[in-house]
């Protein structure tokens, strides 16, 4: 199978810990071939969705901390997305309008026979922070609004609250508002752009000190291990990008309950790979754009997460 990755520029990837690179290595080990393209390489010409892509190979035994772990194996080719055995959308956020347009192109390509994962419409219809409101029985008290008075009332009711933008990633823009927060007005004015931008507020979950767990769901089934991202001392955010320490651990009974309730429903909508963010007993985010943590879980537990993904991809394509 010829697999196209729509991805960020390869020289920018940290190959030694990048989940997309782990997918590539597992695909090649199973005899599949690879091409890569940037989001901007997608286009429509006379109704057909095409892409300018470059075939690549992986360098055997390469130092993944260096930048020569792959080679171009041919010149760039322009062809329909439907010409590939499968297309993996692995472009990282920001989820801006260019990303939204790309999901439309992917959706149109699927109508023309392309096999895209995650599905373009499914990515677009599941904004990663907002989608948790569909599963409110599994979330801490949550408010979504641009109304600062409403947020202040929520804060007064729950005393200890997390506020965050809906389009952030890696922990950017997240604030903890304790009961006596002298900068409350300034923080809310900044995050809501003086009431013109919608944000999310959630009751603070003390179990964050035990880690913000990433629970991966592949083809509707959970990976048996999560990666608990433990915050630095004095830090509210467990994100690895914010300095969190990743510790793999078996799924708890609650983790499995959440994954079993949510995973099959999302898989049925075209989300082959999902990353639940779980703090304590609650989901806080549903990652659908480019979920990560494959490498950390695999290295710490020996469970082959990329292999599980590739097997699920092969089944999805064959279905």
Active site residues: 129, 164, 214, 229, 237, 277, 285, 287
Instruction: Report the phi/psi class of residue 163: left, alpha or beta, with left for phi > 0 and alpha for psi in -120 to 50.
Output: beta
Q: How many CB atoms lie within 10 A of CB 241?
A: 11
Provide the greatest CA pair distance for the chain. 61
What's the Cα-to-Cα distance from 212 to each of 73, 108, 276, 285, rounded to whole Å? Answer: 40, 36, 10, 10
Give yes or no for a contact between 41 and 52, defined as CB atoms under 8 angstroms apart: yes
The token pair at 191 is 């995050």
CA dist., res. 154 & res. 114, Å (int) = 45
DSSP state of 15: T
CA dist., res. 132 & res. 41, Å (int) = 32
Residue 52: which of 43, 60, 62 has the closest Cα? 43
- Residue the block writes with tokens 């390469």: 62
What's the Cα-to-Cα distance from 100 to each of 40, 43, 107, 222, rounded to whole Å? Answer: 12, 14, 11, 27
């Amino acid at each position: 199978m010829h697999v196209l990755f729509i991805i960020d520029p390869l020289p920018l990837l940290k190959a030694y810990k990048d989940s997309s690179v782990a997918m590539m290595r597992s695909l090649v080990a199973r005899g599949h071939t690879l091409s890569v393209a940037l989001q901007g390489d997608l286009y429509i010409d006379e109704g057909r969705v095409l892409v300018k892509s470059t075939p690549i190979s992986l360098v055997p035994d390469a130092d993944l901390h260096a930048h020569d772990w792959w080679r171009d194996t041919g010149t760039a080719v322009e062809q329909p997305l439907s010409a590939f055995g499968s297309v993996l959308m692995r472009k990282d956020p920001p989820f801006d309008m260019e990303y939204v347009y790309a999901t439309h192109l992917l959706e149109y390509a699927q109508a023309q026979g392309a096999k895209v994962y995650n599905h373009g419409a499914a990515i677009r219809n599941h904004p990663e922070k907002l989608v948790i409101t569909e599963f409110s029985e599994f979330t801490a008290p949550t408010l979504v609004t641009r109304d600062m008075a409403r947020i202040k009332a929520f804060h007064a009711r729950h005393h200890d609250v997390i506020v965050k933008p809906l389009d952030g990633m890696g922990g950017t823009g997240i604030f903890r508002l304790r009961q006596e927060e002298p900068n409350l007005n300034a923080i809310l004015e900044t995050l809501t752009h003086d009431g013109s931008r919608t944000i999310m507020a959630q009751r603070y979950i003390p179990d964050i000190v035990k880690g913000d767990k990433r629970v991966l769901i592949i083809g509707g089934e959970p990976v048996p291990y999560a990666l608990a991202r433990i915050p630095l001392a004095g830090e509210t955010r467990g994100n690895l990008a914010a300095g969190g320490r990743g510790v793999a651990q078996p799924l708890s009974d609650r983790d499995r309950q959440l994954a079993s309730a949510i995973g099959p429903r999302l898989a049925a909508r075209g989300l082959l790979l999902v990353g639940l963010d779980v703090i304590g007993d609650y989901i806080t985010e549903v990652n659908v754009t480019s979920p990560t943590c494959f490498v950390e879980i695999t290295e710490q537990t020996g469970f082959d997460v990329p292999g599980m993904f590739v097997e699920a991809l092969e089944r999805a394509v064959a279905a």
